[in-house]
Chain A
Amino acid sequence: MTIETNSGKDCAHAWEIMPWVLQATAPHEQGEWLMHHLAQCESCSAEFAQQSRLRSALSLAPDIAVDADAGLKRLMERLDMPEPKTLPARAWPRNRLAGALAVAVLVEAIGIGVLGARLWSDHTAQYRTLSQPALFEPAGAIRVVPATSMTLSEWNRLLHNLDLRVTDGPNAVGAYTVVPEGSPAQAAQLIPELRASHGIRLAEPIDDRP
């Protein structure tokens, strides 16, 4: 919408600044310029008179009677009420529901985390090759490859005699990881015995690998 005024640009500027001059928030020079313009422009002068009247009307006391004392009394009573009673009745169920949902989400997140960790762990073990060190290889671990001709009873007897326990294997090439039941330091003594045992093709300390 275009504002057409008698003196064009000046009238548009006068229109723009009128509210702020009426508020007395416009710079002093603007106010002086407007008064000078109004003295020369009947149209803007009339517009300014209307806006002054509007301002006067808007500064009248409210036409709807609202009792301040009664309102203040009710507000003070409201402040004095115990906190829970001042809250909307349905606020607690909402909060409880939100709390229960938060706990459920937390439990679910923990569950997913635990399952994820387990899956990750299984996944890692599944793809470990013989050339890779075991992630959680116990101290004193020995890699042993029994001959295919060795029977299960011979294998069990050997483990029992040397006090060894199988912790992993067999892998793709038939290697087992065994550890001494006693101190890990016994591994150094047990390796020559394993190598000398019938049916053992390889016995190497895992810790000593480069």
Chain B
Amino acid sequence: MNESTREVDARDRMLLQRMAAGDHAALETLYRAYHGGLCRFLSRLTRRADLIEEIVNDSFWIAWRKAGSFQGSSRVSTWIMGIAYRCGLKALRQRGDEPVDDYAMREGRGPAHDPDEDRELRDWLGKAMEHLSADQRVVVELVYGVGNSLDEVAAIMQAPVGTVKARLFHARIKLRNVLPLLGGDPPAQQQENAS
């Protein structure tokens, strides 16, 4: 954990303490700090904005109620991500939905202010993610997007570290095979090296 991460975690712990004492302003600060990251993370499970908002709010509802019992054995961010992951799976189960399989980015789905470069990158990512299972997408998001360690991903997904490692490995193999075909500027020999 680097200095910046430590500082963020220390801030989050203080916010949790204030939340445990009933401080709504602390909840608002934490909500705004994590809203973007959680939405992006949950978009690997569902593409429905209304459902994402519901899951985010369910997660913070639980965080509000459990703030006083936070054990501190993990980072606050890991704790919140774990709550959100479980809330996400629960919400999908209750609706009889499966985590999104059709992950392809549709034309114009990105934010209106999306520069061309970002839009191209999103399209490239969407096509790549389409080849992964929901569990693999979540692991890739947590490792490459959020920057979690294998142990943290295991804690969030409540899965053995070995399982997480295997999901990451297989996701990377798939991406290694498909990314060169999706445009961008990878060298041609990449495909040859993938088994």
Contact = CB atoms under 8 A, between A and B. Distances in A.
Interface in A48-101: 49-51, 53-68, 70-72, 74-76, 78-79
B121 A56 contact: yes
B162 interface: no
Nearest to B39: A62
Interface in B24-50: 24, 27-28, 31-32, 35-36, 39-40, 43, 47, 49
Nearest to A76: B24
A4 interface: yes
Given A6-B193, A43-B193, A57-B125, A75 B31 contact: yes
Contacts of A63: 43, 105, 109-111, 114, 122, 126
Given A56-B121, A62-B43, A65-B111, A71 B144 contact: no
Interface stretch (A22-30, A125-133, A154-162): A22-30
Contact of A43 (B32, B43, B147, B189): B189
A51 B173 CA distance: 12
A8 to B, nearest CB: 12
Q: Which of A47, A56, A66 has the most CB of B within 10 A?
A: A66
A65 B47 CA distance: 10
B186 interface: yes
CB-CB nearest 7 A-B residue pairs = A58-B145, A57-B125, A46-B187, A62-B40, A62-B39, A68-B35, A57-B121
Interface of A: 1-6, 15, 19-20, 22-25, 42-43, 45-47, 49-51, 53-68, 70-72, 74-76, 78-79
Given A46-B187, A79-B27, 8 more contacts: A3-B173, A51-B144, A53-B184, A63-B105, A66-B35, A68-B36, A72-B35, A74-B53
Interface of B: 2, 24, 27-28, 31-32, 35-36, 39-40, 43, 47, 49, 52-53, 56-57, 60-61, 64, 105, 109-111, 114, 118, 121-122, 124-126, 128, 140-141, 143-145, 147, 149, 168-170, 172-173, 175-176, 179-180, 184-187, 189-190, 193-195
18 contacts: A1-B170, A23-B147, A25-B147, A43-B193, A50-B175, A50-B180, A53-B124, A54-B144, A54-B175, A57-B122, A60-B118, A60-B121, A60-B122, A61-B36, A63-B111, A66-B52, A75-B60, A76-B28
